[in-house]
Structure 1
């Protein structure tokens, strides 16, 4: 199940308007993922990824690599520090 959630999040980030050059914050990435899932659903996100891989495979590989690397931080549970 976790890989399915991670795959969906990567697809949602991939189809978002965020760009690697923006160096988005964790919160911005989370918001973009949520927005894309609510807007397009899992099937719509997957379709957007498939379209880009079909039309622009060289660019799509780079974008998916970026999306997956962004998820490394986002999917790590937040830890509260108690003082």
Structure 2
């Protein structure tokens, strides 16, 4: 999965920017959400679409947060590889 895919999964998680989650918490939340979606990232994408429709006023800010948070959370893993 790429950064955008992971950000979409994070978008659907219960974590909030105000939680100031650690990289480990972000990765765990993403893994848990993928598991809850039966390993199907398309199911998570459907949740993103639903949330975007229900809350268009917050979609952009939350997605920006999700993208930057995923980039940060997985940076250590990609630089170590």
Q: Secondary structure at the residue paired with 2:2?
A: helix
Aligned residues: 77
Q: Deviations over 1:10-56 (max 9, x none)?
A: 11100000010010000000000111111112011100100011111
Larger Rg computed on CA atoms:
1
Alpha-carbon separation, structure 1, partners of 2:4 and 2:71: 12
Q: Which runs of 5+ in 1 are unaligned?
A: none
Alpha-carbon separation, structure 1, partners of 2:2 and 2:33: 14
Q: Which runs of 5+ in 2 are unaligned?
A: none
The runs of 4+ residues in structure 1 deviating greater than 4 Å are none
TM-score, L = length of structure 2: 0.84
Please state if 1:49 is matched with 2:48.
yes
Alpha-carbon separation, structure 2, partners of 1:8 and 1:39: 16
* The 10-residue stretch of structure 1 (16-25 or 37-46) with the greater mean CA deviation from structure 2: 37-46
CA contact (8 A) 2:23 2:74 kept: no
Q: Secondary structure at the residue paired with 1:16?
A: coil
